[in-house]
Amino acid sequence: MFDLKAYLDSKKRLIDKALEQKIIPEKKSGRLDHAMAYSLMAGGKRIRPILCMAAAEAVSGTDANAGILECSCALEMIHTYSLIHDDLPAMDNDRLRRGKPTCHIAFDESTAILAGDALLTLAFEILASAGATNTEYARRWLKIIHSISRAVGYKGMIEGQMRDILFEGRTISLDQLKHMHALKTGALIRTSVYAGAVLANASVEKIEKLDIYARNIGLAFQITDDILNIEGDPEIMGKATGTDQMYDKATYPALLGLAASGEYLAELIKNALLALETFGRPADPLRALAEYIVKRKK
Amino acid sequence: MFDLKAYLDSKKRLIDKALEQKIIPEKKSGRLDHAMAYSLMAGGKRIRPILCMAAAEAVSGTDANAGILECSCALEMIHTYSLIHDDLPAMDNDRLRRGKPTCHIAFDESTAILAGDALLTLAFEILASAGATNTEYARRWLKIIHSISRAVGYKGMIEGQMRDILFEGRTISLDQLKHMHALKTGALIRTSVYAGAVLANASVEKIEKLDIYARNIGLAFQITDDILNIEGDPEIMGKATGTDQMYDKATYPALLGLAASGEYLAELIKNALLALETFGRPADPLRALAEYIVKRKK
């Protein structure tokens, strides 16, 4: 039996340690670095970097994939920047995240905007730096930088957040909802899996299968988030629940009902696992992650 | 005699056309792309991309440097993103820029934050994409991405903006002011010149000389900005003047006086030109740009 908890714990430790070393706030002024480190080390689950690592393992059969830790750190920084900006008063206006005051509450609005900008920029610096130390794989890293920047850009994650804001209080179709989530949360999850696969030098065929996996779990991740916003425990989640309904947000439970949302979830996970059929044992972490994504409590 | 006006006009046309083709707002929703295009095409002088092109010319002796237009577009996008975020209510709270409403006034605050994020991200996508089409030069592009991301990150431009905010209303030393500007405006100007030089495959020695040029004109650019904020014509500049004094901002004229600031400017330009001594005629555009930077009216 694959022990997911031990796997998650050991990967999280690795990533947390690497992230901590990337930004060492200066003792003196250092307001900017303090804000960056504050949000980055606020206890995230590190799902995206772990997906990247697990995808590389599924392809190469080993966890010793060169550059995988740099790439993972960059992905988590981009995720954190998106949370900092999404939480801003002009956006979702959230005061609590992972049980701690959000960045603009702990510091202030201008510092939070800049800390987000800085984490996004640092992600690309880390990727370029990892690539520059390895002549042989320069093109591979450019592919990864290209994929990530597209995924989180104005035709990806940022457009998803824009739509999320524009949709507030409006009646939208299930297709519009799906497309919005494919952009807002799906794109970063897909590129995380893709980046891991490329670092492990995956074949085109394997990359395609992993992408089917990623698309399915990406959507499943969002639906689970929506359900947790209704049924979750605010204590465990470290943030308020019931907010989607309060702000009249379009969600899967709101559009499909809770029961049908649950069935849809099961179908997505089935499709994700099916895509991994030919991968053998090295894909066990990815399989367990798919199940974890819907069973998590926060 | 080198005709700077014709040179600037032709380069600006080239860059404007290329920028326009990078973001084609969709007719339907497209709020995000509209905001990005609005700020990007709001009539900037395109100084940074032109410096990048002129640096490449100074090295190679030709204006046909592969990838130079992509790189120039990326630099201008990063500059525009920094302006959009700096203008936000939580930052400098500026309502007018280049004679037009700033992004958050023309759209709204959340759209402006996202449009800035998106322009920064698109810059890296363009750089990675330019590099990926050219196997031979993959490492060169990684070096450029690395240099740019460092320059505009939390130890560069963003830290400069953070300090600018923190310094407001405080008494600071000339050294603190210089360092703040080296970060806030100097770093992007230096990396623009560096990127052009790298694309033209400059020797280490030439890169060093161009960097001395860039550091001097970067500082000169800022001092001229400070002087224009006092003596400039708001009509020509398309933005309010006198604001530095109003917000009690530390500036060169405030710390040194207007006369000494002018002398310092002349010294910086002299140093910049001296660094180009061995470059011959191909560096004429860079020389003319140095003089233009202090003589401009906006």
| Mode of pairing for the β-strands spanning B96-97 and B100-101 | antiparallel
Cβ burial A42-63 (10 Å sphere, 16+ → b, else e): bebbbbbbbbbbbbbbbbbeeb
Q: Are A294 and A264 in contact (CB under 8 A)?
A: no
ipTM of the complex model: 0.95
Q: Are B239 and B186 in contact (CB under 8 A)?
A: no
Closest-CA distance, B125 to chain A, in angstroms, reads 5
The pLDDT tens digits for B90-100 are 998 989 888 89
- Mean pLDDT within A43-49: 93
Residue B3 has pLDDT above 90, yes or no: yes
Distance of alpha carbon B194 from alpha carbon B46, whole angstroms: 16
The pLDDT tens digits for B155-211 are 999 999 999 999 888 889 999 999 999 999 999 999 999 999 999 999 999 999 999
State chain B's mean pLDDT as an integer: 92
The pLDDT tens digits for A190-246 are 999 999 999 999 999 999 999 999 999 999 999 999 999 988 888 887 777 888 888
With CB atoms and an 8 Å threshold, state whether B143 touches A132.
yes
**Mutation for A interface: B142, B143, B180, B188, most A CBs within 10 A:** B142
Q: How many CB atoms lie within 10 A of CB B273?
A: 17
Report the pLDDT value the prediction gives residue A29, as an integer from 0 to 100: 61
H/E stretch holding B215 = helix B204-231
Task: List the CATH code of the domain at B4-295.
Answer: 1.10.600.10
A27 pLDDT band, cuts 50/70/90, is low
Nearest to B121 among A114, A120, A143 (CB): A120
Q: How far is CA B122 from the centre of its chain?
A: 17
- Mean pLDDT within B26-47: 87
Report the pLDDT value the prediction gives residue A135, as an integer from 0 to 100: 67
B29 pLDDT band, cuts 50/70/90, is low
Q: What is the pTM of this model?
A: 0.95
A26 pLDDT band, cuts 50/70/90, is low
Question: Percentage of chain A surpassing pLDDT 70?
Answer: 98
Task: Tell me which chain A residue has its CA closest to the CA of residue B37.
Answer: A154
With CB atoms and an 8 Å threshold, state whether B139 touches A143.
no
Residue/partner pairs of A152-155 with CB below 8 Å, 24 or more apart: A152/A78, A152/A82, A152/A120, A152/A187, A152/A188, A152/A191, A152/B121, A153/B118, A153/B121, A153/B122, A153/B125, A154/B23, A154/B32, A154/B33, A154/B36, A154/B118, A154/B121, A154/B122, A155/A183
DSSP conformational letter for A202 = -
Residue A187 has pLDDT above 70, yes or no: yes
- Mean pLDDT within B25-54: 89
Chain B hits for A158, Cβ within 8 Å: 32, 114, 117-118, 121
Task: Tell me which chain B residue has its CA closest to the CA of residue A110.
Answer: B90
The pLDDT tens digits for A104-151 are 999 999 999 999 999 999 999 999 999 877 667 888 999 999 999 999
Q: Which residue has the tokens 């010149």?
A: B193
Closest-CA distance, A266 to chain B, in angstroms, reads 33
- Please indicate if any CB of chain B lies within 8 Å of the CB of A254: no
Chain B hits for A31, Cβ within 8 Å: 162, 166
3-state secondary structure of B160: helix
With CB atoms and an 8 Å threshold, state whether A138 touches B143.
no
Report the pLDDT value the prediction gives residue B261, as an integer from 0 to 100: 93
φ, ψ for residue B136, nearest 5 deg: -60, -35
Residue A82 has pLDDT above 60, yes or no: yes
Closest-CA distance, B30 to chain A, in angstroms, reads 9
Contacts across the A-B interface (CB distance below 8 Å):
140
Domain boundaries, chain B: 4-295
Q: In 3D, which of A182, A185, A198, A183 has the Cα closest to residue A147?
A: A198
Nearest to B124 among A114, A118, A149 (CB): A149
A positions 205-234 inside 8 Å of B (CB): none
- Please indicate if any CB of chain A lies within 8 Å of the CB of B179: no
Chain A hits for B110, Cβ within 8 Å: 88, 90-91, 162, 165
Task: Tell me which chain B residue has its CA closest to the CA of residue A148.
Answer: B125
With CB atoms and an 8 Å threshold, state whether A142 touches B163.
no
Report the pLDDT value the prediction gives residue B234, as an integer from 0 to 100: 82
A3 pLDDT band, cuts 50/70/90, is very high
The pLDDT tens digits for B65-110 are 889 999 999 999 999 999 999 999 999 898 988 889 999 999 999 9
Residue B133 has pLDDT above 80, yes or no: no
